[in-house]
Amino acid sequence: METSLDVEFSIELIRNKNIGSPRHEDAQFLMASGIGGSLDLAFRRATTSLARWLEQDYKLSRSEVALIMGTGVQYDIGEVVDGDIHVVARYPKRLLNGISP
């Protein structure tokens, strides 16, 4: 089903920083997108993107990221059309209390 709606949002452009794939943030979640030709590939890309975000911006080690993502990451299927699958990995900001980017 398709519909129309009016949406307002803002974009922050950070020059000379390659994040690799789309990332989103709202008041509650950090979200990273993964797009691929299979559910497995899209899932891995979303997970990797979110993990790198936490490592780079929150200065967490790979072990720390694995620990916190293993207990708090959530996944949504954003789209499944034309052979492209879009998965969103999201992590609740409330679970990052005390850790600042």
**In the predicted structure, residue 56 carries a pLDDT above the cut 70:** yes
Q: How many residues does the chain have?
A: 101
Q: In whole numbers, what is the pLDDT of the chain averaged over residues?
A: 90
CATH fold group of domain 23-96: Endonuclease I-creI (3.10.28)
pLDDT tens per residue across span 73-98: 999 998 888 889 999 999 999 999 87
Predicted TM-score (pTM) of this structure: 0.85
What does the pLDDT read at residue 5? 86
Domain boundaries, the chain: 23-96
Q: Which of 16-20, 69-73, 87-91 has the highest mean pLDDT?
A: 87-91
Query: Which residue stretches of the chain are H helix?
Result: 39-58, 62-72
